[in-house]
Structure formats: C-alpha cells, structure tokens
Amino acid sequence: MAKSIGKVRSHLVQNEKLLFELSTPGKVGYQLPALDVPEVAPEKALGGGQVRTEIEDFPEVSEVEVIRHFTRLSTWNYGIDLGLFPLGSCTMKYNPRINEAVARAEGLAWAHPYQPESLSQGAMEIIAVLERHLAEIFGHDAVTLQPAAGAHGEYTGIMLVRAYLESQGNPRKKVIVPDSAHGTNPATAIIAGYDVVTVKSNEHGMVDPAALAMAVDEDVAAMMITNPNTVGVFEENIVKICGILHAKGAQAYMDGANLNALVGIARPGDFGIDVLHSNLHKTFSTPHGGGGPGAGAVGVKAHLEPFLPEPRLKQAGEQWTWDYDRPQSIGRVRAYYGNFGVLVRALAYIMAHGGPGLKNATIDALLNANYIRARLKDRFKIAYDAPSMHECVFEDSVQEKQGARTGDIAKRLIDYGFHPYTVSFPLIVHGALMIEPTETEPKAELDAFCDALLAIASEVESNPETVKQAPEMTRTSRVDEVTAARKPVVRWKPVPR
C-alpha cells in the first residue's frame, strides 16, 4: 500500500503478474502416463491449420500456480458484493440473494416461451401481479413489461405518444429535452422521428417553467423529463410543467431512471406524468451491468393504454391468456413477453419489501446521499444550491485550481480500493463527480469512501502530481485512453528476455 494512502481503509487490490511472467522452463500443470503408442507430432495429428504457432514462450506453470493466478484475478472483478459501487445515475444496488433463489426455481427457470398457455399460468400470473404492483407504484393505469431495457422503454414510451397523437390527427414534430437529460433521451426522440428542442436548466439545476412555456407550441409532441433529474435534484415545479404541456396538447414523459428516489413517497402519475419507463434493473435490484439483461417497464395513463405493445394479458374466467386483438397497438417491441427472469427478480424484491419496506429503502437512499454530501461539501464544491435526492453531484472547480481534475481524482480512488464515481456527467456540471450510494450501503462503508475522497482532496492540495499519476496500485497506471480507443492492441507480444 502506498504511503500516501496512510490509514484510510482500502479494499484489497492485487497486483498480479501475467502467466508469462510466472513461467519457469520445465514446469507442467499435468501428469500423464508414458505413451503406449507411437508419438505423433501435433501438426500431423491435428492438421497444420489447427496448431497455434504464434505464441512464443508459451507459459510453463504448475497446477497450483494456475489455480492461484486465476483465483486472484477473479478478485479483480469489482462488484457490489465486494464494496460500494458509487456510480451516479446508475443505481448499482445490492441484489438480495432471495431474488436469485426465486428466479432459479425449476418451474420458472426452465419455462419456455413457446409453452402453451395452459402450462404457463404461473408465469403469466407473475407478469400480471408485477404489472399491477408497478401501476400502483407509478400512479398509472396500465404497465407493459415487454421493453428489454431502460432506453428501450424510452423508445416504447415515445412511440406510444406518437401513436396517440396520430390517432388525434397530428403526430406533431418536436420533443423537448432538458439539457440535464440522459443522452438516450434525445436519441430516442430522433429515432421516433422527432426534432429535439433543448431547454436549459436554471441556477438550481431545474427546468424553468417560464422558459418551458416559451418553448411549447402546437408542434411539441412531448417533453422528456427526468425526475429527480441528472444533477440529483427534484423538479419542484413538476406539476406546473405538466400543466404547461397539457395546455398545449403535449404529453409529459418521465425518464424513470432515478425512480429509486421516489418509490413509496411520491407517484409520477400524481404529478401529471402521462408515460414513464422504469429501469427494473436499477430501482428493483435485478442484475445490472455486463450487458444486462435489463427490463424497461413502461407505465401509462388510461388514454395511452390502447397503444401498448401487443400481446396484452387478459383473464378468461380463471385462466390467463394473451390478447392479440389490439388494433391501435404499436405492435411488438421485443420477441416474446419481456426478460422474464428479470421480471421474477423485480417482483421478488417488491414482495419481500412490501409497501413500508420500499418506502424505507427510498428514505435510506436519500439519507445516504445526503450524508455523503454533508461530509464532502467543505472540500468539494456542490454543483447546485438545491437539496440533493438519492445522489449528490459535485464539481472539480476547487481541485482544478490546485492542479487535478475529476478524472485524476477518480483514478486515485482506485488506489484506495473503491470503484470510481461517475466522471464528467452530467455535462452541464463542470468536471462532475456524480455519487449515488443507494440504500444498501452501511455507514461504515460510506465513511470509508468519504475518508478516501477527503484524503485525496488533501493530496491534491499538497502534491497534485501524486493524484495525476494515479492509479499506482494497479498493474497498469495511466493509460493513453485516446490511443487505446483508436489503436487497440488485442494480442499479447512477448517481451525479449
């Protein structure tokens, strides 16, 4: 451990050598009996095209060295089971193991989407119950679970808006997106065939109703708003914002990526939100990262329900069935009925907590974020003078004057054994440090994380070069990220001995 890190607690960071560097001539990792048949060269036995020759000095290691090497490497796979994952805007919370146990129940894990309805009643009941619970949480009249992820849910939501407006005779031309929005919001609007109009945030990091009123006309189809927004601030004028949109016949769409700050306390439908998506793999704890799978449930008010993706569940007596007779539906947005295993996990999370438990989880998320804000605000500048919700966003203006930027601080954080926060996002914050601890982190972990950042702040003051050279505890320190992206090296080349 580097002396500059001092007594700040750190998670274990290994500095493992390559197998090539562990190699010693003559070592083998297996024992075989002597041949009782004539020896044949590999090229002759397998064919020359099947034998690799480009790896020089192929590593020669023992079995125990191989086992220890790959076991140590496995500890490099930083995950929520190891420590705090403070990525803001992502909600990387701990996934209770009961979720996994339920999702792996044999009758669910081995269910096939082509099973007849008579053999799928349990799975269909799970979908129906989850839709009902989410509708209550959202404050909406109906929910579809078909979208495969958050951005996919966004696309579905805006396509629902388009279909509804077309049924009124005019799909309109524009979608308003605040400058603090997730990057997927304007992308979604464009893919759905709309022009994007940007509305700037005010000094508190919120949408200014007066500026919005000037931007909304009869060509606006919807506004895509995140609440709490991407600077971790609640849009306190949300009811007024929805009223401005509705007065012009436009729809209010909410990006529910930050729903972790509202569940059990406030319902978007009660604000006037017509449609929203929720990342079930964020708010309701299903697996997140590594390519998914995710789930992007979409909730709607009654006037949008006829346009939801088909098929829809319906009950015929005591049996569940799929309803394909939906002439106004936007059609399928995904094969089958959604990422079912993720849906099972989300329902397990909701039912295990119950209403009071979900509310408590939200309160804990708010408490944790504000605790971090309180501990760091004297050393790092808070981005906006407004109350923080489930995440807090700082800027690096103080540290920049002392010689280090947010990327330097994030890399130094690796030396302290923590995964970095979200760097340089949202873009409207100068050198953003975006931190979301979620509700699952204990105070000791939050203190260790804050201690690390405070120690780094002191390092920046006294010796910024130490921070600018970080990380020093990893095998590779500063990487030329531009060259790595443009000219990736994907083959190992041996170093001459």
Secondary structure of 291-302 as H, E, C letters: CCCCCEEEEECH
> Distance from CA of residue 441 to its chain's centroid?
17
Q: Are 307 and 160 in contact, with CB atoms under 8 Å apart? A: yes
Query: What's the longest Cα–Cα distance across the chain?
Result: 89
Average of pLDDT values for 65-89? 86
Asked if residues 89 and 257 have their Cβ atoms less than 8 Å apart, the reply is: yes
Determine contact, residues 88/273, Cβ cutoff 8 Å: no
Angle at which helix 406-415 crosses helix 443-462, to 10 degrees, equals 120
Number of domains in the chain: 3
Considering the domain architecture, whether residues 290 and 405 belong to the same structural domain is answered as no
pLDDT in tens, 399-453: 999 999 999 999 999 999 899 999 999 989 999 999 999 999 999 999 999 999 9
291 lies in the same domain as 321: yes
Residue 153 and residue 115 share a domain: yes
Q: Is residue 304 part of a domain?
A: yes
In the sheet that holds 432-435, the strands lie side by side as 381-382, 392-395, 432-435, 422-423
Handedness of CA 206, 211, 215, 216 (dihedral sign): positive
Question: Where does a domain end: 329, 352, 375?
Answer: 352
Q: What is residue 1's predicted lDDT score, i.e. its pLDDT? A: 43
Per-residue pLDDT band for 31 (boundaries 50, 70, 90) equals confident
Note whether residue 495 is domain-resident: no
The phi and psi torsions of 279 (rounded to 5 degrees) equal -80, 100
Given a cut of 60, whether residue 73 has pLDDT beyond it is yes
Q: Give 119's contacts (C-beta < 8 A, 6+ positions apart).
A: none
Q: Which stretch of DSSP H or E encloses residue 276?
A: strand 275-279
Give the range of the structural domain holding residue 229, as residue numbers without chain letter. Answer: 97-352
Q: Is 467 helix (H, G, I), strand (E, B) or coil?
A: helix
pLDDT in tens, 297-323: 999 999 999 999 999 999 988 899 999
The pLDDT tens digits for 145-154 are 999 999 999 9
**Per-residue model confidence (pLDDT) at position 292:** 66
Distance, in Å, from the CA atom of 9 to the CA atom of 299, rounded to the nearest integer, reads 43
b (16+ CB within 10 A) / e for 230-262: bbbbbbebbebbbebbeeeebbbbbbbbbbbbb
pLDDT averaged over the chain? 91
| Pick from 78-92, 217-231, 408-422: least confident | 78-92
123 plus 258 within the same structural domain: yes
Strand partners, 177: 198
pLDDT of residue 491: 74
**Which region among 334-343, 420-429, 473-482 has the lowest average model confidence (pLDDT)?**
473-482
Is 302 a member of any domain? yes
Pair of tokens at residue 349: 């999370």
* Closest among 253, 243, 248 to 172, alpha carbons compared: 248
Same domain, 287 and 372: no
User: Could you tell me if 341 and 293 are in contact, meaning their C-beta atoms sit under 8 angstroms apart?
Assistant: yes
CB neighbour list of residue 284: distance below 8 Å, 6 or more residues apart = 278, 345, 346, 349, 350
CA 46 to chain centre: 46
Q: Are residues 37 and 158 in the same domain?
A: no
Which has more confidence, 175 or 497?
A: 175
Q: Between 288 and 380, where is the model more confident?
A: 380
Rounded distance, CA 39 to CA 179, Å? Answer: 70
Contacts of residue 365, Cβ cutoff 8 Å, sequence gap at least 6:
260, 261, 390, 437, 438, 439
In this structure, is residue 79 part of a structural domain? no
Residue 490 domain-assigned? no
Report if residue 366 sits inside a domain. Answer: yes
497's tokens: 């001995």
Rounded CA-CA distance 29/65 in Å is 9
Query: Which DSSP letter does residue 392 get?
Result: E
Residue 217 CB partners (closer than 8 Å, separation 6+): 248
- Give the C-alpha separation, 408 to 455, whole Å: 14
| pLDDT exceeds cutoff 80 at 5 | no
Could you tell me if residue 464 is inside a domain? yes
Provide the CATH number for the domain around residue 150: 3.40.640.10
At 290 the pLDDT is 57
Determine contact, residues 412/471, Cβ cutoff 8 Å. yes
Q: Please report which residue ranges of 248-339 form alpha helices under DSSP H.
A: 268-271, 280-283
Same domain, residue pair 327 and 365: no
The mean pLDDT of 281-295, rounded to a whole number, is 78
Average pLDDT value for residue range 319-340: 94
